[in-house]
Amino acid sequence: LMYEAAHKLTPDGYFKLATAVFAEMLEAGFTAVGEFHYLHHQADGAPYSEPNIMAQRVVDAANEVGIRITLLDTLYLHGGLDADGYHSLSANQLRFSDRSVDRYLERTGQLQLTGDRTRTGTAVHSIRAVDPDSLALVTSALDRPVHAHLSEQPEENNQALAAHGRTPTQVFSDAGVLSPALTAVHATHLTPHDIRLLGEAGASVCFCPTTERDLADGIGPALELDTAGARLCVGSDSHAVIDPFEEIRAIEMHERLASRRRGAFDSAELLAAASRNGYRAIGWEEGGRISAGAPADFICIGSGSNRLAGADRSLLSDTLVFSAGSGDVTDVVVAGRHIVTGGSHSMVETAELLDRAIRSLFE
């Protein structure tokens, strides 16, 4: 279904869908998004006459609804990996790929995005889609955010070991990609050595618990990564659920399930994952805090729901992290603009946009 939907998207359809999703994210309490963007070309893989039109349209969507965005333009070269090496791209994957590093660099070199709420970064889809030699290009982009799917599933590790004799993390390390600029997305199935490498590099690790749960991918080693020195943040990934409170709460709850111990993370640490660490991971180091000179991005939580009834102000952060949900968000301000008021986006009808955009993919 994912491939079927991706196959149908045009620049106009992509804009409409992204507008709806970004509006929903704002209403849920997200103020910034790192868009892992790899829908580059036409359905048959041919470039558009404007090579970056799809990137431009997803940024247009973010600007339309007011969310802060970092476009993570993604390198995607191969269709998979096994002991015999890399596979050719399938028909469904052609539009994701520039076919070579040189073409990727040529296209992204033409990318010109503007706006005070827009920044750019680099992404590597995964070791399954980018070979070790091609990873070297990423080292030239370490002055801006670099994101990569890393050890999301055990099979990915098995494929890397069979083809390269190393874990995906070790391949990234050998290519010089591990650094404070890197955000490893998922990082669910890591060896102790992998965890040490990521921690020593000062990398960020983006957990996406509702997606990892939805796909039955497993529970990542959150406490071990945090102890090793990695910075934890969260993403909504597949948007199976769009709720920042559920994502950060799940870091602690999944750790409880894995370790059968409570209290690995306190509410302050989890709030940092949803704010300061998240902003840093997508290249807004000045964000995620309320202080003079920081971006004026913040949300307000209503206290009238059953979930928050009787909240003790001295325990307010605990109450918000462990009880609140996206439905409790009343107001959202991004870059000083009051975008969500009374729980609804001030400029668009989000539910109607979502309904039209989703239906159009499967008609």
Catalytic residues: 186, 237
Q: What are phi and psi of 108, to 5 degrees?
A: -70, -25
Burial of 187 (0-12, 13-18, 19+ CB in 10 A): buried
Q: What angle do helix axes 316-323 and 244-259 make, rounded to 10 degrees?
A: 90
Q: How far is CA 168 from CA 161, 194, 288, in A?
A: 8, 9, 30
Q: Quickly tell me which residue has 């996406």 as its tokens.
A: 208
Q: Which two tokens stand for residue 197?
A: 């490498």
Neighbours of 209 (CB within 10 A): 26
Going by DSSP bridges, is the β-strand pair 204-207/68-75 parallel, antiparallel, or unpaired? unpaired
Return the percent helix, strand and coil in the chain, to nearest 5.
45, 15, 40
Residue 160 three-state SS: helix
CA angle 313, 319, 320 (to 5 degrees): 105
Q: What gap in Å lies between CA 242 and CA 251, rounded to an integer?
A: 15
> What is the C-alpha end-to-end distance of the chain, expressed in Å?
13
Burial of 179 (0-12, 13-18, 19+ CB in 10 A): middle
8-state DSSP, 345: E
Q: What gap in Å lies between CA 54 and CA 43, rounded to an integer?
A: 12
Going by DSSP bridges, is the β-strand pair 337-341/329-334 parallel, antiparallel, or unpaired? antiparallel
